[in-house]
Amino acid sequence: MRETKHEDPVLSRLAYMMDRPRSNRVLTRLRALLRSNEFYLIPLALVVGVVTGAIVTLMSEIAQIAHVLIYGIPIDVRLSANAYVNPVIALIAPAAGGLLLGVMEWSRRRMKISSAVDPIEANALRGGRLSLRDSVVVSGQTLISNGCGASVGLEAGYTQIGSGAASLLGQLLNLQRNDLRLIVGCGAAAAIAAAFGAPITGAFYACELIVGVYSVGSAAPILAASLAGALTAQWLGGAPYSLEIPHVGMVGVEHYLALIGLALIVSAIGILVMRSSALFEQLFQQSWTPVWIRPVIGGVCVGAMAIITPQVLAAGHGAMVLNMHRGQPARQIVRGVARAGGTASGGRSDGCHLDRHGNPRGCDRRRAADDVVFGSGDDA
C-alpha cells in the first residue's frame, strides 16, 4: 500500500519559523548527527519522554479539576472512588459531554474532514507521520469524555498526544523513516509509563503495538523515553494509577491453580466485553440514529448506572483501588446494589472512600484498617 503524506500545518509553521540562517545551520547539524549514528536517538528519546510525561500529568490534572468542578468532589478524591454523586448531575454531565462530542463529529463529517490517524496506523502505513493538530483534537475529545464522567480512560489520549509530539519533533529534524517510527514508539511508551508509573510496561506496549518489532537497536531509545516519562510524571506529582499490593505470605500449588483459573475467567470476560463492544458499535451505526445523538445515549446510560454506583464514572482506577482495599468484591457488588436502593429511599451511605493516594477517608481509622486487612464486614 502506497504511503500518503499529509502536510501538518503546525509542522509547516514551525519549519517556516526556523527557516533562518542560524536556525537552519543548527538544524542541519542536528539532522546530520542523528543520521550518522543511532546512538544519538537516545538523547532525543529522553527529550520526548520528558515532554510526554509533562503533558500526561497536565491532562490528568485537568481531568481531576473537571471532576471537582462538575461533581463537587474533594480535590484529592478520584471520581470513581467517591462515595456519592448527585443523581441529577450524574445524568446530565455525561449526556452533555456526549452532546458536545456528537456535535464535533457531526461538524467533522459535514466539513468532510478526514478522521484522525492513530499511532499504530501512522507507523504501519505512513512511516510515523502524525498530525499534531489531529492528535490534539483526539486527546481533547478523550479529555472531554473523561472529564464529564463517561467510562473512558485517558490512556488513548495520552498515547495519541505523546506520539503526535514525538512525530512532530522527528519530522522537524527530518529523521529517516525507521527512525521516525521509532521516535513515535518512544512517545507512546513514555505516555503509558507516565500514566501508570511503569516504564517496563510502556516499553513493551511500544514494541508490541506501535513499533511492531523487538530489536536491540530500538530497546535503548524506548526504555530511555519510558524512564524519562515515568520520572517526569513522578516529579510533577503524576502517576496516579499506582497500585500498592500488600505483602503475600507462603504461596502453595493450590494458589497457583486458583490464579490460573482466575486468569482464564478474566480473559473470557475481557473477550466478551470486546465482542459486545463491536456489536454495540454496529447497533449505533444504524441510519436511524443521528450521529450527534449517539454519544448522548451512551452518556445517559452511564449516568443511570452512576446513580446505582459512582464506580462506573470516569476511568475507574479509583474504584479498582477501592475494591482492592475493601475486599470480597462479589459481596460488595450485591451490597452496593442494595445500598443504592436504600440510599435512594432515604437511607444513608457510610461515606467511606479512598483519596488519590489510596488512603481510606470518611470512616474511622479502626474500621478502615479492618477493611484493608480483613475485608469490609457487615454493617451494624
Task: Please name each of the domains of the chain with its CATH number.
Answer: 1-242+286-380 (1.10.3080)
* CA angle in degrees (0–180, nearest 5) for 51-56-58: 95
Task: Give the percent of the chain with pLDDT over 70.
Answer: 74
- pLDDT at residue 200, as a whole number: 94
C-alpha cell read off for 151: 467510562
Q: Whole-angstrom Cα distance, residue 195 to residue 210?
A: 17
CA angle 253, 256, 261 (to 5 degrees): 130
Quick: pLDDT tens for 109-134. Answer: 899 888 889 999 999 888 899 988 89
Q: pTM for this one?
A: 0.76
Mean pLDDT of 98-106: 93
What is the pLDDT of the chain when averaged over all its residues? 79
Please write the tens of the pLDDT for every residue from 27-48.
Answer: 677 777 667 677 888 999 999 9
Query: Are the beta carbons of 130 and 167 closer than 8 angstroms?
Result: yes
User: What local confidence, expressed as pLDDT, does residue 136 receive?
Assistant: 93
Q: Say how far apart CA 67 and CA 360 lie, in whole Å.
A: 19
